[in-house]
Structure formats: C-alpha cells, structure tokens
Structure 1
Amino acid sequence: MSVAAFSLDNAPSYEKVSLQVDGVDLEISSIYKKGQRPPFVFLHGFGSSKEEFNDFAYLPHLSEYMNMSFLVKTAKALLAHYGIDRFHLSGHSMGGLTALLRAEEIPQRILSFVNIKGNLAPEDCFLSRQVFLFPADDADVFFNEFTERARRAPAFSNAIYASNLRRKVSPQVTYGILSTMVEISDQRDLLGIFLGLPCPLMLMYGVQNVSLSYLPTLKENGVELAEIPFSGHFPMYSNPPEMYRRITAFLERVAA
C-alpha cells in the first residue's frame, strides 16, 4: 500500500487578486496550484466558497491541475490575470451557470466541462426563484427567511449550507444575483448551449435530483451522468469522496 505524503511544499497557494471589472475595484480571494497540465478551473456557487473545493489540490490524480474560485462577474478578468488560455472547467450551482455562459463565449478554449448541478432549465431555480415566490421589501428579512427555508428543507446537507450563508453572503446582493439566475434560466436555451459545447461533458447531481427532466436528453447526447449517492444539491458536503472519484476518472479519460 502506498501513502501520499503532503507538506507545505505541495500545498495550494492562497492569493488576493486586485481587479477592476466594469469600473468596479475588486479584491478576489483565490486558491491555486500550478502544474504541468492544462489547469482545472472551478467556480463555486451562491453561498459557497473556494475552501469547499480545496481538497482537489491534494488528490494525487488531480495534483497537476489548478483549482481556483471566481466571482460571477470576474471570471474573465481572473483568467486573464493568471494567463489561462485553454482549461478544464467546472462549476457548482450558480458557478455552473456562470461557467456555462463563459464557455459559450470561448468554446474552443474549454477542454472539458464538469457541470455540478448548474442551471440548465427553469426547473433548476428551486433556490433562486424564491425571490419571486417569497418576496420581501427588506433584504435582511428575505435573507433570514431564505436561510431558514434552506435549513429546514428535507435534503442532504441543506442545514450545513444554511449555517454558513450569513458569513459568506451579503443580504443586499441576494436579489440581484438570484433574480438574474431566474431570468437567464427562463429565457435562454441553456440545455442547448451545454450540448453544443465541442468538448467532453459531465453533469454531476445528487441522487435526490434523479427526477430532473432533462437527464434522458443528456444521456442520449453522450453527456456523462455522474449520480452521487447520499447527496442532493451539495455533493461537496454530502459525499465528497465519490464526487472527487468521479471527477478524477472523468479527467483521466478526457485528458489522456
């Protein structure tokens, strides 16, 4: 039996990146690890953080890929900052939608795309559509009620997700982000955009999302479906070993 040894010498790096996007000065916190292969870029979801995917940097089969966090409007600028040209792309939830829209702009630069329950149809707006189903004039009131609904939802890992929302998200930005996600999901053919990408594709989803209406269409069109046991919308919380195993196996096949 072999055991991988980890030390500060092979640990990922944390960096604060100052950027200006649309005239707004931003400071982005990223995690990255340089390797010899094309990088693996990850965009986290609403209320999530880069630390939830930090373990990617320690997996032996993924040690040559880069894993970093982006905010929605800074993905393009941060890729340019790091000089990333062609790369493997992944994103969860809101990050999956952001990744899809970025991939649509630069399809020939995407080597593969692992979509972790990112929006592909209106039915995926189970969280974001709450801005219209449960409106509130006060941002704090809506955010508190949104958090409580997430905490009580009968799904794997919703409670732990809800427990961190207040620390990671400003209530004042919630409406703009969630309403835009609904608008895009309702008005654009996201499934068509996803299937039209000229690279290997995977959709990852928890077993509690097995009823998604578009899964047969994806399978018929050659998309790899990665169903994660004991998981719902948040496989990084519920079953990270299986999530990492499926992504590792996918990358090993498409990057061979």
Structure 2
Amino acid sequence: MPLPEAPIDRRGRQRESARTVLEHSAMTRPPAEHRDDQNAQTTIGWGCTELEIALRRTVRGPETVLFIHGLGCTKASFDGAWDSRLANQLTLVAADLPGFGASSRPREFSYTMDDQARVLLALLDRLDAERVHLVCHSMGGVVGLLLARSLDTRLASFVNVEGNLLPQDSGMISRRAAEAGYDKFERRLFPALRKVVRMSTEPAMEPFGRWLAQADPWAFWRSSVSLVEWSHRGELLEIYRQLRAPRRYVYGSTSVLDTVLRQLEGMACAAMANCGHFVMQDAPAPFWSVVEETVLGATSSHNRG
C-alpha cells in the first residue's frame, strides 16, 4: 500500500509535495562504479520549502542498501557498513533525516513518521534505486515500515534493529517527550536528556551524545509525538508480518522486552549478547555479520531466481 498523498491546504495546494532537485555536484554526476561520496547533499522540494538532506553514498552495484537512523541519531550510526562486505557489492546510502544531523530543520516540516518516509521515497526515486534493502534502527524502523509499503516489490530485504512495533517499544525518552508540551520539553527535558547522555559511562552513549547535540529540539519533539502515536496504533507489527521480502529482527539481549519477543515468535530474529539498544556500537562485528547474512542472502537468492 503506497503512502497516502500529502494533505491539501485551504488554497488547494499540496503542502508537502515530493518533487526532488539535486544541488550538490557529487550527486549530479553520472553514476560511477566505486564512487564514495561521504558528504553528499540533496535538496528535496517540499511544498513551499526545501529540505537539505545530508548523505553518505557509495556506488558499487545495482542494488541499494538504505540505512535509516533512530530518534536523536544521525547517519553516522551506520558508519560500520562501509567496513563490511556490503560495501564491496552494493550501493550504500545513509541519510540524516530532516531535523537531525547535518540535514535542514525547517519549522514548517511536520517531522511525522509518514513524511520522513515520503522524503526517503523521493530520495530513492531520484537515485533510481530499483531493488532496495532497508536497515532501520529504533524510530527508523517505523519510518522504514511505512517506506516499505510504498516500495512494494522494490523491497529486497528488511533488517529491523529494535524498531518500534508495539506500544511497549515507546521508550522513556520518546514517551516523556511526547507527553510534555513543547515549551517544557525544550526548556527542561531536552537539556536534561543531553546532560544525562553526556555524563553516562556507557560506551554507546558517547557517540549518541554527539549525534544528539546535532538534533533540533522541535524536530525531536514532533518526531517523538508521531513515533508514540504510531506505536500505539496497532498497525506496525502487522505491516512487519506482511512484508514479503526477507526480514530479520535484531535486538540487544539486555534491551528488548519479552512482550515484544513473544509477538515475533516464528519470525527470523537475532539476539546480540550483552548488548543494549545501540547494538551497532555495542557489538559491531556480530551485528554487521547478521546484516551481511540477511542482505547478501536476499541478493543471492534473487540472482539465482
């Protein structure tokens, strides 16, 4: 099922269209084998505004792996992909979602999960990505599932890294942010969150602190509201179950609730021992091994078929 059309305002205009314009020279060059654009930038027209999307992109093969980061994170969450076997065979794309990292953060953008998915769909269409593997972490799992519905048969595989599927997946950070009004969140909760993360002794919190420092508070709050809303709709688990492409749920053994795992019985899962929510940072070697197995396995099966 494709994403619904953007809403129409009273003047009959589409507020949020999906036209795409590429400005960065690195993105407008003809595709070239073995090209690595670590600091590419894309401009996506969005109604009356434009979104500057920061990318890392490596062109290797005809299939594309798109990495979608979580709440408060950036595309750097997935830097390890460029040291994996994926980088030798596939085109890799990691983007900072609007409001996060080095991407733009206009106040008029909604920062809903739906619109984040529309932005990524416009990006993939501009890049002529025909077969797409999605690797999605946390909030990115919700964006990825909505994107997967629009990709339909273009979806090659789906790696869900503790992406929200149930109400229980709404963690303390997103839930408290969503429940607070924006003024309270901006003045008190967001600075407190940054301080707690900065003072944490957990290794994974050091990079998260750097990424969080780049997040726009309005985008973070609006994203939290939408993330919690989607987590409580009761649709995400069913969307995930109905994916026809190969899929795998990856989680940290100290992070995911048994309630969630029971709902995933019979589906491919991979536990990362002694890991928390940021499994990519806690156990990079086993994590990327699982991603390689899932993605390259799907590619191999498709080529044989």
Normalization by structure 1: what TM-score? 0.86
Decide whether aligned partners of structure 1 residues 163 and 29 sit closer, same or farther in structure 2, where only a CA change above 3 A counts.
closer
Residue 19 (structure 1) aligns with: 44
Cα separation, 2, equivalents of 1:11 and 1:241: 25
Cα separation, 2, equivalents of 1:189 and 1:148: 34
Cα separation, 2, equivalents of 1:194 and 1:234: 21
Quick check: 1:206 aligned with 2:252? yes
Contact 1:54 1:67 in 2 (8 A): no
Contact 2:139 2:227 in 1 (8 A): yes
Contact 2:178 2:228 in 1 (8 A): no
Cα separation, 2, equivalents of 1:174 and 1:225: 29
Decide whether aligned partners of structure 1 residues 123 and 40 sit closer, same or farther in structure 2, where only a CA change above 3 A counts.
same
Deviation at 1:62, TM superposition (A): 4.0
Quick check: 1:233 aligned with 2:277? yes
Contact 2:158 2:248 in 1 (8 A): yes
Give 1:101-112 correspondences, 5 Å limit. 101-112=146-157
Give 1:4-153 correspondences, 5 Å limit. 10=34, 12-14=36-38, 15-70=40-95, 71=97, 72=116, 73-126=118-171, 127-132=173-178, 137-138=183-184, 139-150=186-197
Counterpart AA for 2:234: R
Decide whether aligned partners of structure 1 residues 163 and 92 sit closer, same or farther in structure 2, where only a CA change above 3 A counts.
same
Q: Which SS does the other structure have where 1:129 is aligned?
A: helix
Deviation at 1:213, TM superposition (A): 1.2
Deviation at 1:28, TM superposition (A): 0.9
Residue 218 (structure 1) aligns with: 264
Alignment length (residue pairs)? 245
Cα separation, 2, equivalents of 1:100 and 1:228: 22
RMSD: 2.4
Counterpart AA for 2:51: L
Contact 2:85 2:292 in 1 (8 A): no
Q: Which SS does the other structure have where 1:68 is aligned?
A: strand
Contact 2:156 2:246 in 1 (8 A): yes
Cα separation, 2, equivalents of 1:59 and 1:190: 29
Q: Which SS does the other structure have where 1:33 is aligned?
A: strand
Of the structure 1 ranges 98-107 and 125-134, higher mean CA displacement relative to structure 2 is found in 125-134
Decide whether aligned partners of structure 1 residues 161 and 105 sit closer, same or farther in structure 2, where only a CA change above 3 A counts.
same
Deviation at 1:153, TM superposition (A): 7.4
Counterpart AA for 2:79: N
Deviations 1:98-136 (A, max 9, x none): 001111223221111001111101111102101145556
Quick check: 1:182 aligned with 2:182? no
Counterpart AA for 1:83: D
Cα separation, 2, equivalents of 1:184 and 1:74: 18
Decide whether aligned partners of structure 1 residues 237 and 96 sit closer, same or farther in structure 2, where only a CA change above 3 A counts.
same
Deviations 1:57-93 (A, max 9, x none): 2323542222223322521111111111221111111
Contact 2:35 2:59 in 1 (8 A): no
Counterpart AA for 1:90: V
Deviation at 1:141, TM superposition (A): 2.3
Cα separation, 2, equivalents of 1:94 and 1:85: 24
Normalization by structure 2: what TM-score? 0.73
